[in-house]
Amino acid sequence: MASKTTDLKIDVQEGASWSRKLSITVPAERVRRTRGRVVEQVTKGMRLPGFRKGKLPARVVEQRFGPSIDQETLDRLIQEAYKEALEAEGLTPIAQGRVDDVKYEKDQDLVFQVELEVRPEIELARLNGFTVARPSITVGEEEVDSVLERLRDERGEWVPLEPGARPDYGDQVLVEITALDKDGQAQEEEGRAYRIVLGEDQAIPDVEAAILTLAEGESSEFDVSFPDDFPDEERRGQVQKLRIAVQETRKKVLPELNDEFAKSVGEFESLEALRERILSDLQEDANERAEAEVRGQLIDQILEANPFDPPPSMVETYLQYMMGEGREGAKRPERSPEEEQQYAAILEGLRPQAIRGLKRTLVVERIAEQEGLRASQDEIDERVETIAARHNRSPSEVWIQLEKAGQLEVIEREITEQKVFDFLKSQSTIA
């Protein structure tokens, strides 16, 4: 139903749930008025030889500026009429409409069409009766030990090897590598220095194998082959003579796993307290992964029971967002034609993921609206207070900081989504 009185004739054709085609007719009288204003603006203050300023005859104006006047008139009319038609029909497009089939003549009705996409009206006929299997994710002592070893490794100290000792995998070396020609002459004035941890694929296998034969202070010449998966395709399979000099060798010494270590990690009185925290964190992470799996299964079954296709423009916007180019302030980088092709291929590879992610978002939003599950202000305040208490700060201080960072909207979405999935789980069987 029209929400605004207008002299336009507007016909709306619905395609898919998101597609609309507007046929808009602007009456001839309005066309004449708009063109008259354009003519007035064009000639105002204009001076041509033989004519007084602003007093150009209509015949001269049409001869000199007719096409420009028509184009300006057309642009104004289409822009104004399109905006007015959207307001009259209560439509909110999700992307700029595409103007087509324009019929314009002076002193006649202007007729044009606009194809646009609106936010889809999703009909969710079925939201219950599904069966979802919650995965069983157990956390044991092995997982705790693995985290402890990672913490020890992060806090390890590099110390020199014994004089004359050759490095082994896991050791760190500083080497100078010089490329040689077939006669053994250096191809560069100076070799290049590299700090490498052996066994972590920071050098090609033949170079690592050569380094393992040298102690600190030693050097030698080697013929090394570049592997078939070397990044520089032109060098794959080539053999290069190198002079490798080992300047420094170190091994990592890990701290003892005891109460003192636990205290160095954080506010833990003992190693047992640290293990308990790690176990708790791992279990929480496992629960979150299980919950994500449940939610994913629910969404998949809801989408299967209530199929719909999101608007193409929304998919494109979502893809750009996934690539980091749809965010506010993000600038599209300049790319060569080859890079543009690679970028397009990446987008196509991500398209199925984008479509599913967009569908999930639309379904959650629709359920929140349909069932009245959006986060209330009290719920947002309560979450902010919880965050403030956890960090020993005042709620008002945390609120201001979250608002500046744009995180209040994130909190609102998280609470809304939690309420939506709590509702969905109550309507189905979670085994």
Residue with tokens 């994130």: 410
**What's the whole-number mean pLDDT along residues 143-149?**
96
Question: With contact defined as beta carbons under 8 Å apart, do 69 and 42 qualify?
Answer: yes
- Pairwise pLDDT comparison (63 vs 126), residue with the higher score: 126
Judged by DSSP in three states, 396 sits in helix
As a whole number of angstroms, the distance between CA 296 and CA 351 comes to: 18
Provide the residue ranges of all domains of the chain, joining segments of one domain with +.
Answer: 9-117, 157-253, 372-431
pLDDT at residue 96, as a whole number: 83
DSSP alpha helices (H): ranges in 328-376? 337-371
Residue with tokens 């184009």: 71
pLDDT single digits (tens) 273-327: 999 999 999 999 999 999 999 999 999 999 999 999 888 888 988 898 888 775 5
pLDDT at residue 107, as a whole number: 84
Average pLDDT, the chain: 90
Neighbouring C-beta atoms of residue 150, cutoff 10 Å: 10
pLDDT-derived band at 49 (thresholds 50, 70, 90) equals low
Question: With contact defined as beta carbons under 8 Å apart, do 173 and 211 qualify?
Answer: yes
DSSP-derived pairing of the beta strands 9-14 and 98-103? unpaired
Q: Which contiguous run of DSSP H or E holds residue 151?
A: helix 141-154
- Torsion (CA) 288, 290, 291, 295 in degrees, nearest 10: 140
**What's the whole-number mean pLDDT along residues 167-191?**
90
The CATH number assigned to the domain with range 9-117 reads 3.30.70.1050
**What's the whole-number mean pLDDT along residues 171-191?**
89
- Is the overall model pTM greater than 0.85, yes or no? no
Does residue 166 have a pLDDT over 80?
Answer: yes
Q: Which two tokens stand for residue 42?
A: 């064009």
CATH number belonging to the domain at 157-253, selected among 3.40.50.2300, 3.30.930.10, 3.10.50.40, 3.20.20.70: 3.10.50.40
Q: Which contiguous run of DSSP H or E holds residue 387?
A: helix 377-390
Does residue 333 have a pLDDT over 90?
Answer: no
Question: With contact defined as beta carbons under 8 Å apart, do 109 and 25 qualify?
Answer: yes
Does residue 53 have a pLDDT over 60?
Answer: no
Q: Which two tokens stand for residue 149?
A: 């070893």
**What's the whole-number mean pLDDT along residues 395-408?**
91
As a whole number of angstroms, the distance between CA 282 and CA 288 comes to: 10
Question: With contact defined as beta carbons under 8 Å apart, do 408 and 360 qualify?
Answer: no
Q: Which two tokens stand for residue 105?
A: 């003549």
pLDDT at residue 46, as a whole number: 60
As a whole number of angstroms, the distance between CA 226 and CA 121 comes to: 58
Burial (CB count within 10 angstroms: exposed 0-12, middle 13-18, buried 19+), residue 206: middle
Cβ neighbors of 11 (< 8 A, separation 6 or more) are: 22, 23
pLDDT single digits (tens) 335-378: 888 888 998 899 999 999 999 999 999 999 999 999 999 999 99
